[in-house]
Structure 1
């Protein structure tokens, strides 16, 4: 069923994607900066660029589709601009240090020193030697100097500002921090959900279906179910379902609260067929929990318990994937996620908060899986480096991540194509 497109639903859906991605990437960004790593770019979204600005050392970019993002750290990938001996460049020297290196349009750099590069080290010694009119001149390079080429400016990355220069622990924290922020967000939302939804204390009847055993027995909407066959119900709706499922054709004694009094009602469940053709045993009622406000301890405890139950459910889903116990229709891409998000956003704030917590937790767990190109795989490589005492060959690691990324993209294309077909099928 296609969700109703409402301005509120659209805004809340886009906002959720934006928040989940931003807090994930902010985790990488914050702990990379704490470790002293130069972060070149903090980007949210894919597709056409909406906004981009430079603040300090980092370029911040917002793109049209908030379905992902990245934090580009110096040293993770080969630098796109390199200076080689024999190359003619111009340098802007101020205070006995090179502040800018110009690689093109040299004739326009009137106030810069121009010469042929004899030697240059932009990582460790931070020096450059130029042949200036037949004389070798050596200059110190500012650690925050910029390189200008093809009308683009990029800050250099000395070795102590690069990702690879940091300890295994610092690098691992910069990688793990993304999923960690999603876990923290999920926990906060689950706790918030517990406080907003309250603590269930009883189960009440909110609907009695026509021509069903409950209506025939005299059960009414608003009745509070106190006990069934002598068993106290409390807030456990699953106990009602269990007792009814074992009582097809057998009279059951229901004690309900109505207008401050206890009323005894005898109901005989009957077997019927649901919309999917399955045999089910029903009495024909809809139920809802009656709640009270949660204490601080109850809110935190319930939030933790809900998060644990959600984690178990997510891992059970991954287990089915590993065992092949699924069809393509069981999988969903961004379109399916957006569809469900819009449905729950339209349904109410409680549903929306619960779903946001689930998505944040799922994003964290999925990213921690040891799948190439994901954070979990990168942590595996860092763990191997810690054990071996030396890093894995960067070329081999890059190849593994490239293959993993390609496989994930193929899966994404497949599930998105299936989502589009499903939308057309209605």
Structure 2
């Protein structure tokens, strides 16, 4: 599906409902505080239609599909109205026969604080609910069979009866479901020989394997597994194949053992248009393949998709660590615990991102503010993955994260945002009297201009410099 369509669809599916939920939080708080709400609008004016009227509130559909708004008696978009500006609201109240109206002006500071904080608050709540719902419906778990992808020549494993494609199901009678579990059991074993239960062509076989005295921990060595070769790329022309395992590279300065994806990427970066010899293992045979990385979008690339595979016995056996995401529904108690944990982790991750940015540990580009256009650019691939996998967790978890970001952003103490208005209420509580509406309005108006300018800049940046989630080395 077209990227623009997916991006726009993700914007409509994710951001618009979250903004409406945000405004609904303000609406509920106003009702609970006794503040008269004249209008609850879906979209922004101009008004397209009045949907219905319930109580003191008319519910409207508006032409600009960018969320929604609440129009309480006595407040406009950025500030409380002055007495002179209330005449239009009063006239509307008279025409609609609303009895005992209560304006924002008449609400206590604590009621206004509740009213203003309720929007971000319900966004936090929505994120928590979304995480719990996805845990009930199908939480994404990573599963990885311990599949042998390569056996190094002249190794202990080669002399045993292990074969490429074998899936390790147990070690000395202990059942294993992942490469990590195989790793742990081998590390903990003091025996010279272990018994591996492997699945081969649908049959289970028990194979004794002698472990070397100086075996290396599973996480100490990694190999690089080629998951795909891009057509007409340098790697394609050189003769690389999917499932090749890269073990070393050689240039004029000598041979370097490759033990991680990051190491190969850095090595490739340093060899733009410079030939290097890549040593791979293919079906038990060691091959040396010359290749010259070419610059693509400013970065040297060979044209291969790569991923790590763990190695055992000093590289004698390569075990696939590629994982498959499998959604699994959790019982209610576990779902609540898992959803709450993810909710807390999301806040921690956002906090660590900000800390890393100020500490200079990451590039500003990696933590740049994004506009609704940028959210669509991120959400498009997420929605595409949702459709491809037929599972809801990618788009729902993305929506939960955006809901948290929306809440935090609105709580920033910037005039024009909920956080800015909360700040003025706190100042009122400290001073014992409110600031004059006209004076407060100036601050909020300036803040609103700043926010509109920031949005305009981020929109232009996201259009001129689109967010690129792909990374091909």
The answer to whether residue 338 in structure 2 is matched with residue 338 in structure 1 is: no
Cα distance in 2 between the residues matched to 1:292 and 1:67: 34
Question: For each residue in 1:171-211, what CA deviation from the matched residue of structure 2 results, as whole angstroms up to 9, or x when unmatched?
Answer: 111111111211111111101122233485x8423987789
Structure 1 segment 27-106 matched on structure 2, within 5 A: 27-46=25-44, 49-53=47-51, 55-56=53-54, 57-76=56-75, 77-78=80-81
Q: CA deviation at 1:400?
A: 2.2
Cα distance in 2 between the residues matched to 1:299 and 1:69: 31
Task: Label 1:12 to 1:210 Cα distance change in 2 as closer, same or farther (>3 A).
Answer: farther
Across the aligned residues of Structure 1 and Structure 2, the Cα RMSD in angstroms comes to: 4.6
Cα distance in 1 between the residues matched to 2:104 and 2:366: 40
- Contact 2:52–2:58 (CA under 8 A) maintained in structure 1: yes
Q: Equivalent residue for 1:401?
A: 444
The answer to whether residue 4 in structure 2 is matched with residue 16 in structure 1 is: no
Q: Equivalent residue for 2:431?
A: 388
What TM-score do the two structures reach when normalised by structure 1?
0.65
The answer to whether residue 144 in structure 2 is matched with residue 204 in structure 1 is: yes
Cα distance in 2 between the residues matched to 1:407 and 1:422: 22
Q: CA deviation at 1:388?
A: 2.3
- Contact 2:197–2:206 (CA under 8 A) maintained in structure 1: yes
Task: Label 1:310 to 1:72 Cα distance change in 2 as closer, same or farther (>3 A).
Answer: same
- Contact 1:206–1:288 (CA under 8 A) maintained in structure 2: no
Q: CA deviation at 1:28?
A: 0.6
- Contact 2:222–2:308 (CA under 8 A) maintained in structure 1: yes
Structure 1 segment 171-182 matched on structure 2, within 5 A: 171-182=112-123
Question: For each residue in 1:80-99, what CA deviation from the matched residue of structure 2 results, as whole angstroms up to 9, or x when unmatched?
Answer: 97699xxxxxxxxxxxxxxx
Q: Equivalent residue for 1:87?
A: none
Cα distance in 2 between the residues matched to 1:209 and 1:336: 39
Task: Label 1:192 to 1:168 Cα distance change in 2 as closer, same or farther (>3 A).
Answer: same
Structure 1 segment 73-152 matched on structure 2, within 5 A: 73-76=72-75, 77-78=80-81, 144-146=93-95
Which of 116, 122, 128 aligns to 1:187? It is: 128
| Structure 2 residues not aligned, in runs of 5+ | 188-193, 212-217, 224-257, 268-306, 311-319, 387-391
Structure 1 segment 263-282 matched on structure 2, within 5 A: 269-270=222-223, 271=258, 274=261, 277-278=265-266, 282=309
Cα distance in 2 between the residues matched to 1:53 and 1:80: 30
Q: Equivalent residue for 2:393?
A: 350
The answer to whether residue 119 in structure 2 is matched with residue 162 in structure 1 is: no
Q: Equivalent residue for 2:335?
A: 299
- Contact 1:49–1:61 (CA under 8 A) maintained in structure 2: yes
- Contact 2:23–2:68 (CA under 8 A) maintained in structure 1: yes
Q: Equivalent residue for 1:116?
A: none
Task: Label 1:25 to 1:292 Cα distance change in 2 as closer, same or farther (>3 A).
Answer: closer
Task: Label 1:272 to 1:391 Cα distance change in 2 as closer, same or farther (>3 A).
Answer: same
| Structure 1 residues not aligned, in runs of 5+ | 85-100, 102-121, 124-141, 147-153, 247-252
Q: CA deviation at 1:315?
A: 2.2
Cα distance in 1 between the residues matched to 2:207 and 2:434: 73
Task: Label 1:157 to 1:396 Cα distance change in 2 as closer, same or farther (>3 A).
Answer: farther
Q: Equivalent residue for 1:316?
A: 352
SS at match of 2:42: strand
Q: CA deviation at 1:417?
A: 0.8
Q: CA deviation at 1:40?
A: 2.7
Q: CA deviation at 1:255?
A: 6.2
- Contact 2:373–2:459 (CA under 8 A) maintained in structure 1: yes
Count of aligned pairs between the two proteins: 350
SS at match of 1:391: coil
Cα distance in 2 between the residues matched to 1:143 and 1:27: 24
Task: Label 1:4 to 1:384 Cα distance change in 2 as closer, same or farther (>3 A).
Answer: same
Cα distance in 1 between the residues matched to 2:97 and 2:363: 49
Task: Label 1:400 to 1:262 Cα distance change in 2 as closer, same or farther (>3 A).
Answer: farther
- Contact 1:21–1:66 (CA under 8 A) maintained in structure 2: no
Question: For each residue in 1:211-260, what CA deviation from the matched residue of structure 2 results, as whole angstroms up to 9, or x when unmatched?
Answer: 999x9974648656x679x99987896x99999xx9xxxxxx99676466
What TM-score do the two structures reach when normalised by structure 2?
0.60
